Amino acid sequence: MKSSPLWRILAACVLLFAFGMAVYRAKTQTIAHDEALEYEWFLDGGVAHVLEYNPANHMLFTLLAKPTVWTLGVSELRLRLPSVAGALLYVLAAYLLSRRLFGGGLLFFLSVGLLCLNPQILEFMPAARGYILGLAGLVAAMYAMTRLTERGEFDPAAKEWRHGCAVASLALAVPVMATPTNAIPVVCLGMAFSIVALGGWKRLPAFRDARMQEFAKRFVAPGAAAGFCVLWPYLIQMRPGHFYAGLKTARDSMSDVFTGSFLYKWTDDVWAPSLGGVPAVPGSWQARAVNLGIYVLLPVLFWLVASGVLLARRSGKGPSASPTSAACRIFGGAAIACVLLIAGMHVLLRAHYPNARYCLFLVPLFTVGALLAGREIAARYPRRALRAIGLLITATVVADYAASIQVKEFRYNAYDAISFKLYQAIAEDAQNHGLPQVRVGGTWWYEPEINFYRRKFKNARIAEYDVVDKSYFWRSPNALEPSQYDYFVFVPASDPGLGGERVVFRDELRKLTVIAKK
C-alpha cells in the first residue's frame, strides 16, 4: 500500500480518540470493585502495604499510584493516573510499531485501529490496574525488536544492536512487573526474537559462543536485573495457591476471549437493559455467534498466523533476507507459542486457562501477527480477490470494535456503575436524619466501593463498611448482626429477611436494596 498523509492523519485521529476516551472515562466513571480493592488493600495505609503480594496487587501500578494518591489525594482520576500514563505510552507505541511495519498506507491505519480500538484494550486503558502498563511495555518491546531486525542478525560490534537490545530487554521487564501472568508473552516473545536475531534456533544452545554470551548480556541481563530489583519483595511471598485464578476448560477461555473482543456489547439482548459481560442465552443468535467464534473463527486466526510464520521461514533464515518476514516470524511465532504454552501448562501443571483480562497480550500479538501473515500470503499469491477479502475482514473487525465503544462502565464490573449513587443515598439519608455516626454492612460486593468514597469525601459520619453476607465465605471481624446496622446493603442471595425497615435505595436491574432502621 502506498503511503499517504491521509492515512497518517486518520491514524493520529484514532490515537487521539482512544487516549481522549481513556482520560474521559478515568475522570467520569465510578470506581469499580477491583479498583477499590486495589486502593483499600495496598494504597490506603503505610508503604508496607504496597509491598504485600496478592494476585490482586498489580505491583507496578501500586508502586506508581502510591505517591500519586499520597501527594494529590484520593479520587477516581487521581487513582487512575498511572493507567492514563500507560494508555498514552501504549497508543504511541502502537502508532510507531504500525508505522514501522506497514509504512503509511491503509494497512498502517487498520493496524492502528485494531490495536487501539479493541474493546478489551479500551476497557483497561483507564482502569486502576496494571493491564495497560503491561501492554505498553510489550508493544514498546515489539517496536524496539522491529527496528533491530531491520539491521540484520545480531552484531555485537554494532552500537545500535547493543543499545537496542537493552531497550527491548527493559521494555519486556515492564509487563512482568505489571502482573506475573505476562511472563508467558515475555518468554515467548523473547525466545522468538532470539531465534531470529541469532540466525536460527540451533544457535541458542551454544552457550560458550562469544556472540551468544554477548547477546545474553545485552538482551537478557538488563531486563532480568531490573525485574528482580523491583519484584524481589513480591517473589519471596509468592505461593502456588496464589495462582488459582482462571477458567477450567479451553472452551470457557476461548468464549471469554472471543466475546470480550468481538461480541463486547452483544452478549445480552441488544434492546434490553444489560449489565454487560453476561453469558449468551442458549439457543440465541449470540450463543450461535460464540460457537462460531470458538470452533471456526479463532482456529482460522490461529492457522492463518501459523501459515504466515511458515511462509516467512521459507523466505530466508536471517532477518536480512526480509525484515518484514523476520517480524512475522517473531510476532506470529510468539503468538502461536503463547497459545501452545498456555495449553501445555494446563496439561502438565493443571494450571487454569486464562480469562480475557489475564491474556490481553494475545490482542497485540495476534493482531500484528495476523496482519503480517496476511501480507506474507498476499506476496506469494498476488490475487486481487484474496487481497480484497483480507482487507474486508480487517475493516469489518475494526468496525465491530468501533460499534462496541461505550463509556458508561467497565464491562466486567458493570454492577459498579451505581456505586457512587449507593454511597450518596446512604450519606444523604444519614445527614437528613441528623445521625452523627452510622454503621453500614451487607453484601461483599460493595464493601470496597463504599469505603473508597468514605475516604474520598472524608466522611467521618459513616463507619467502616462491614461484610455480613450469608452467601459469601468471609465475614468482617467484629461484625454485627444485620438488624444492628443503621444501613444494610443486600441482594437476594444475601437478604437478611428483616421486616419493617425503611428502603433507602433500590436498583431493580441489579436487584440491590439498601434498608435503614426506622
Q: Which three cell numbers stand for residue 128?
A: 486502576
Which helix (H) or strand (E) covers residue 514, if one does?
strand 512-516
First-last CA distance in the chain: 72
Per-10-residue mean pLDDT of the chain, 518 residues long, equals 80 96 95 94 90 91 95 95 97 97 91 95 95 98 95 90 95 95 95 92 76 91 94 88 79 91 66 61 84 94 95 65 83 97 92 91 97 90 85 91 85 86 96 94 95 94 94 92 94 88 90 90
What pairs with residue 502 in β-bridges? 516
Nearest to 328 by CA among 271, 280, 377: 377
Please work out, in degrees rounded to the nearest 5, the angle formed at the alpha carbon of residue 155 by the alpha carbons of 149 and 159: 90
Ordered alpha helix ranges (H), 50-158? 59-72, 76-102, 106-116, 119-124, 131-149
Nearest-CA neighbor of 27 among 87, 70, 112? 87
14 neighbors 94 (Cβ within 8 angstroms) = no
Residue written as cell 443468535? 285
Residue 409 burial class via C-beta count within 10 angstroms: exposed 0-12, middle 13-18, buried 19 and up: buried
* Residue carrying the nine cell digits 474520598: 456
Neighbours of 505 (CB within 10 A): 19
CA atoms within 13 Å, Cβ hemisphere of 518: 5
Gap between the Cα atoms of 431 and 433, Å rounded: 5
Nearest to 107 by CA among 236, 215, 206, 8: 8
The three three-digit cell numbers of residue 63, written as one number: 508502586
Contact 121, 135 (CB under 8 A): yes
pLDDT of residue 343: 95
What pLDDT, on a 0 to 100 scale, did the predictor assign at position 123? 92
How many other C-beta atoms are found inside a 10 Å radius of the C-beta of residue 297?
15
- Which residue type is seen at 234? Y
The rounded distance, in Å, linking the Cα atoms of 30 and 453 is 10
pLDDT score recorded for residue 226: 95
Residue 206: how many CB atoms within 10 A of its CB? Answer: 12
Q: Are 143 and 97 in contact (CB under 8 A)?
A: yes
Record the pTM.
0.94
How far is residue 506's CA from residue 512's CA, in Å, rounded to a whole number?
6
C-alpha neighbours within 13 Å on the C-beta side of residue 489: 25
- Got the DSSP string for 169-195? HHHHHHHHHH-GGGHHHHHHHHHHHHH
Burial of 279 (0-12, 13-18, 19+ CB in 10 A): middle
DSSP label at residue 441: E
Residue 285 C-alpha cell reads as 443468535
Q: How far apart are CA 101 and CA 330, in angstroms?
A: 12
Q: CB of 214 within 8 A of CB of 156?
A: yes
**Do the beta carbons of residue 378 and residue 314 sit within 8 Å?**
no
CA distance 243 to 140: 27
- Which of 426, 446, 424 is closest to 437 using CA atoms? 426
Question: Which cell numbers hold the place of 247?
Answer: 477458567
Place of cell 439457543: 283
Q: CA angle at residue 370 from 364 to 375, to 5 degrees?
A: 130
pLDDT score for 239: 80
